[in-house]
Structure 1
Amino acid sequence: MSTRFASDRGLTSRMVVTMFLLGLLYVVFVGVLIALGVQALTVLVLAGGLLLVQYFLSDRIALFAMHGREVSPQEAPELHGLIDRLCAMADMPKPRVAIADSDVPNAFATGRNQKKAVVCVTTGILRRLDPRELEGVIAHELSHVAHRDVAVMTIASFLGIVAGLMTRFALYTGLGGRRAGNGQGGVPIGLVILLVSVIVYAVSFLLTRALSRYRELAADRAGALLTQRPSALASALTKVSGEMARIPTRDLREAEPFNAFYFAPALAKGETLASLFSTHPPLERRLEQLANISRQLGRG
């Protein structure tokens, strides 16, 4: 389903390359398991089932986990009006609208396609942003919906799920006592599976995180071009990131597991290691891109 969101060839090429590398890694991983004589069918079926649940129920799972509640136009007329206007500008179906009662200033979009999508904002972001800034944030989230980012990232995470399950499979079954080769001096199969699974998980993790960071940049770009107000989105990013420092650490830590969904990551102070594997690019990189877009448009 096409929309008026700006196309992004860079996003498409990175998506293709990342999915190709993940697919290649998957083929090699399964080949190694078969060569070791492991019956991996059970693990693959279990992982596939988890993937299908996540794919088809992502909207419900995300809303439940983040305590979001769908709201009617009567309950939130200004929010609905803003989303109505942006959807008309983007020529896309209107998603369901939800609000999460949280002081953490953030927003997210989820759902496997435009018809099943939901856009949720927190009460914290509604209190802190002005209408133009909120418009930029919502445009960013609608771009995720238009580009089916949730579906793509769910599929991309499949290999990591398989590798994680295989690690547990090797640890909690009798594979540790079996030896590779015919002799008793061979390397334990369980150890080989464990090492291969850890490597596969690490590589797939880095690939999906890199793709996630670029998708955030692509959503910033598409949202700014749709509204023609990159400075408003930059202001929202700066304000939200600054306000994170005032949120209690306990609340930030509760929100951190859902950073992949959020407009801006909720990170507690001192989380330098997390930034190395972040789902989002650095704030400076996002602001730099928006400043470049402003110059291209000849406006703020």
Structure 2
Amino acid sequence: MVNRFRSDRGLVARMVVTGFLLGLLYVAFVGALIVLLKSWILVVVIAAALLGAQYWFSDRIALYAMRGRVVEREEYPELHGVVDRLATLADMPKPVVAVSDMDMPNAFATGRNADHAVVCVTTGLLRRLEPEELEGVLAHELSHVAHKDVAVITVASFLGVIAGLIVRFAFYSQVFGGRRDQNTAAILAAVIGISAAVYSISFLLIRALSRYRELAADRAAAHLTGRPSALASALTKVTGDIARIPSKDLRTAQAFNAFYFTPAFGRNPGIVQIFSTHPSLEQRLEQLGRISAELGEASPSGKG
């Protein structure tokens, strides 16, 4: 099935390049661990098992981590109605619909492909948005599914996850036989150093891709619905409301910023925003303003 979201060659090119670079990094990482830990079977089996689990069960993992639950049409008929309309309009399979009982207004999509996708919104988002604003947000999330960038980000983020897990493994594995001599210390330091380097490189690559994919999803959603001003209004409203949520309530959510409609930043994001998974609100609104002019729609004011 060919969906009707606009194709984005720039996004495809960036995903291919990022995937290739992360693949090289992954191979080098596993190779270095094999040399250091001298147990290639163990390293490869663990790496393959974790990658497979993240790919096949990413939807369940994400829902569990972000307190989402699948909901039926009887419980949320309006939400299902919007997803039905958009899936039909985009000519793509309807994703599973889920709701997260969180006051933070946000949404995310996950799943390895369009046939195994989940779109989840928080109760805070449902309470705050008008129907046309919610439609814009859900179109944005469906675009991620249609362009397959949900699966790419899920797999890409795996490298950083395994880098962190390997450090813990180095401490507790019986590979070191419980000894803490100079050789063991040197190997441990090398493993930690390589893991830190891999995490840093993958961190930067993923964020560069993620910022572009968010702009691509905004573009696709605006063209699919024909109402970029509604999406601009939702963006402004959600970003402003998130900034008013206490920072302590956002800490857990920040770990999943790459998947959210808009990042979970507090009042003063500071230097964190430099490494954000999303472009700035100003960039997103400026792009929607240009699309609005192209479509002959009134320029988005950002007011709800």
- Answer yes or no: same fold by TM over 0.5: yes
Q: Match for residue 135 of structure 1?
A: 135
Q: Match for residue 75 of structure 2?
A: 75
Shift of 1:191: 2.5
Distance, in Å, in 2 between the alignment partners of 1:30 and 1:95 is 35
Q: What SS is found at the alignment partner of 1:157?
A: helix
Shift of 1:4: 0.2
Are 1:201 and 2:199 matched, yes or no? yes
Deviations 1:91-143 (A, max 9, x none): 01111212222211111111111122121111211111111111100100111
Q: How does 1:1-300 map to 2 (within 5 A)?
A: 1-36=1-36, 38-172=38-172, 174=176, 177=181, 179=183, 188-300=186-298
Instruction: Give, as a single letter, the amino acid of the residue that structure 2 aligns with 1:282.
Output: S
Indicate the larger mover: 150-159 or 228-237: 150-159
Distance, in Å, in 2 between the alignment partners of 1:120 and 1:90 is 18
Q: What SS is found at the alignment partner of 2:291?
A: helix
Distance, in Å, in 2 between the alignment partners of 1:198 and 1:71 is 40
Q: What SS is found at the alignment partner of 2:235?
A: helix
Distance, in Å, in 1 between the alignment partners of 2:266 and 2:112 is 30
Shift of 1:210: 1.5
Q: 1:243 to 1:37 in 2, by over 3 A?
A: closer
Shift of 1:149: 2.3
Q: Give ranges in structure 1 of 5+ residues lacking alignment.
A: 181-186
Shift of 1:37: 6.6
Shift of 1:290: 1.2
Distance, in Å, in 2 between the alignment partners of 1:208 and 1:128 is 30
Distance, in Å, in 2 between the alignment partners of 1:170 and 1:177 is 14
Distance, in Å, in 2 between the alignment partners of 1:56 and 1:263 is 22
Deviations 1:184-242 (A, max 9, x none): xxx93332332222112210111112212221111111111111111111111001001
Distance, in Å, in 2 between the alignment partners of 1:67 and 1:29 is 32
Task: Please say if residues 179 and 188 of structure 1, whose CA atoms lie closer than 8 Å, have aligned partners that are also in contact.
Answer: yes
Task: Please say if residues 59 and 110 of structure 1, whose CA atoms lie closer than 8 Å, have aligned partners that are also in contact.
Answer: yes
Q: What SS is found at the alignment partner of 1:247?
A: coil
Q: 1:257 to 1:161 in 2, by over 3 A?
A: closer
Q: What SS is found at the alignment partner of 2:98?
A: strand
Q: What SS is found at the alignment partner of 1:102?
A: coil
Q: Match for residue 302 of structure 2?
A: none
Q: 1:241 to 1:194 in 2, by over 3 A?
A: same
Q: Match for residue 184 of structure 1?
A: none
Task: Please say if residues 207 and 277 of structure 2, whose CA atoms lie closer than 8 Å, have aligned partners that are also in contact.
Answer: yes
Q: What SS is found at the alignment partner of 1:188?
A: helix
Shift of 1:83: 1.2
Q: 1:34 to 1:107 in 2, by over 3 A?
A: closer
Task: Please say if residues 51 and 154 of structure 1, whose CA atoms lie closer than 8 Å, have aligned partners that are also in contact.
Answer: no
Instruction: Give, as a single letter, the amino acid of the residue that structure 2 aligns with 1:268.
Output: G
Q: 1:194 to 1:252 in 2, by over 3 A?
A: closer
Q: 1:188 to 1:103 in 2, by over 3 A?
A: closer
Q: Give ranges in structure 2 of 5+ residues lacking alignment.
A: 299-304
Task: Please say if residues 43 and 166 of structure 1, whose CA atoms lie closer than 8 Å, have aligned partners that are also in contact.
Answer: no
| TM-score (normalizing by structure 1) | 0.89
Task: Please say if residues 107 and 121 of structure 1, whose CA atoms lie closer than 8 Å, have aligned partners that are also in contact.
Answer: yes
Distance, in Å, in 1 between the alignment partners of 2:182 and 2:154 is 34
Indicate the larger mover: 163-172 or 268-277: 163-172
| TM-score (normalizing by structure 2) | 0.88
Instruction: Give, as a single letter, the amino acid of the residue that structure 2 aligns with 1:188.
Output: A
Distance, in Å, in 2 between the alignment partners of 1:43 and 1:101 is 38
Instruction: Give, as a single letter, the amino acid of the residue that structure 2 aligns with 1:50.
Output: L
Indicate the larger mover: 247-256 or 110-119: 247-256
Equivalent pairs, count? 294
Distance, in Å, in 1 between the alignment partners of 2:143 and 2:104 is 22
